[in-house]
Structure 1
Amino acid sequence: MIPIILDNHTFLAISVRLPKTNLLAVASEKGYIMCGALDVGLLNDKLRDRKILAGRATGVTSIEELLDAPLESVTWEAVEQGIHPGMLGKEALIKMI
């Protein structure tokens, strides 16, 4: 875990090394972006009542790539906050402040 500063705001970057893959996430107090392991469909369907603010970027292998990658999918709660697929991870995080 390491702090990441974007636009003078601090986010928490988490990287978990697992066999044959890494889990990557960067979180604010309100939401997070994550690598392709994030199941946006599950969050939107089975956990809809939790109103989780999250986005998913695929094909990333580092925190830096996650920040610079376009989001492949986002939760419905993220859409309500102005976050949409194609938005860069770091841009989405700023909207999660």
Structure 2
Amino acid sequence: MITVNPLEVEGMFFTAIRVELPKTNLLMISNEIGYIMCGALDVDLFNSNEKLRGRNIIAARAVGVRTIDDLLHAPLEKITDASRSYGWEEGMIGKDALVKIS
């Protein structure tokens, strides 16, 4: 099952997506600028691949999350290099990162 819902974070709106997979969930919260996601996101690929790096993708991942609420409150384990231009840092809480791109 795929669930797509609007999500309000400190007065700003995002899209929350949950894809139920066998034994796990794929979780993402996004807006038109960037997104945070569960551990399924390969941040290293965006940072190491020259073509992808040139796209300046604003993205980060958190690990060990099972719900959208977990994703909002989990520390970001990895971020893309382009995310730094928005003030994102490893270890910041997902919700705080989203506010910076709203």
Mapped to 1, the partners of 2:25 and 2:17 lie a distance apart of 10
Q: Which residue of 2 aligns with 1:76?
A: 81
Give the partner amino acid of 2:86.
Q
From 79, 93, 96, the equivalent of 2:98 is 93
| Partner deviation per Cα, 1:20-65 (whole Å, 9 max, x = no partner) | 1110000011000000000000111221011000111000000000
1:14 aligns with 2:17: yes
What is the root-mean-square deviation of aligned Cα atoms in Å?
0.7
Structure 2 SS opposite 1:58: coil
Amino acid at match of 2:92: M
1:56 to 40, 43, 61: 61
- List structure 1 segments (4+ residues) > 4 angstroms apart after TM superposition: none
1:37 corresponds to which of 4, 15, 40: 40
Q: Which consecutive residues of structure 2, in runs of 5 or more, have no partner in the other structure?
A: none
Q: How far 1:76 sits from its partner (Å)?
A: 0.4
Structure 1: where are the runs of 5+ without partners? Answer: none
TM-score (norm 1): 0.97
Cα distance in 2 for residues equivalent to 1:24 and 1:94? 18
* Per-residue CA distance 1:7-32 (angstroms, 9 max, x = gap): 21110000000111110000011000
Give the percent of matched residue pairs that are identical in Structure 1 and Structure 2: 52
